[in-house]
Structure 1
Amino acid sequence: MDIEPRLTLRWADHGACANSDPDLFFPLTWDGRPAPHTALARRICMSCPVRVPCLTWAVETGEPEGMWGGTTPDERRRMRSRRLKKTG
């Protein structure tokens, strides 16, 4: 697959969320229940051309807040935990 060099360095510029309300992706609380903003943010992420690098970045850096690559903070914590168990 041929990827434009700028895309690999500046994937966030190409995010489907770039022109969306930031409150959808960074709500004041994540209370564990599916909320309307979570579902809408996830739908935007699932159609995003840079969802994979976004999610990879959030998991690798331990991003503690927001919706990244269609995942909530709790979902990413579980992903990191599983990853550590596999390598540990």
Structure 2
Amino acid sequence: MYANSVERNDMSSAFDWRAKAACRDKDPELFFPVGNTGAAYQQIEEAKAVCRTCKVIDACLKCALDTNQDYGVWGGLSEDERRALKRRAMRARRSQAMQMQI
């Protein structure tokens, strides 16, 4: 029981930034468009506009990356942008590891 309460507290503190998020009073659907073209593209841009005003944008993005959020706009980035960011980070780590072997 103790371990579960500690785990819950750790998860809770990991999400404390949400109380300060600019999106907290917005319709969550705005941040989860269906698709990435046409009307969905406009919705993504509207969600990103909210993110650009947010004081906790970095914490939001970190949370999305740490918890592998595959859908929606988090930390000002779309799902495609977060995937690209992860790929670049993976390539950089791989390159660094290869250089350490030399």
**TM-score, normalising length: structure 2:** 0.71
| CA RMSD, 1 decimal | 2.3
Following superposition, the deviation at residue 60 of structure 1 comes to 2.4
What letter corresponds to residue 38 of structure 1 in structure 2?
I
Q: Secondary structure at the match of 2:23?
A: helix
Q: Is the 8 A contact 1:27 1:66 kept in 2?
A: yes
The percent of aligned pairs where both chains have the same amino acid is: 33
Indicate the structure with greater helix content: 2
What letter corresponds to residue 19 of structure 1 in structure 2?
D
1:25 lines up with 2:19 in the alignment: no
Aligned pairs, number: 83
What letter corresponds to residue 54 of structure 1 in structure 2?
C
- Rg: which structure is higher? 2
1:69 to 67, 75, 96: 75
Following superposition, the deviation at residue 16 of structure 1 comes to 0.4
Q: Is the 8 A contact 1:59 1:79 kept in 2?
A: no
Task: Pick closer, same or farther for the CA change 1:70–1:9 going to 2, 3 Å.
Answer: closer
1:13 lines up with 2:19 in the alignment: yes
- Structure 2, unmatched stretches of 5+, are 1-12, 95-102
1:58 lines up with 2:64 in the alignment: yes
What letter corresponds to residue 25 of structure 1 in structure 2?
F
Other-structure match for 1:36: 42
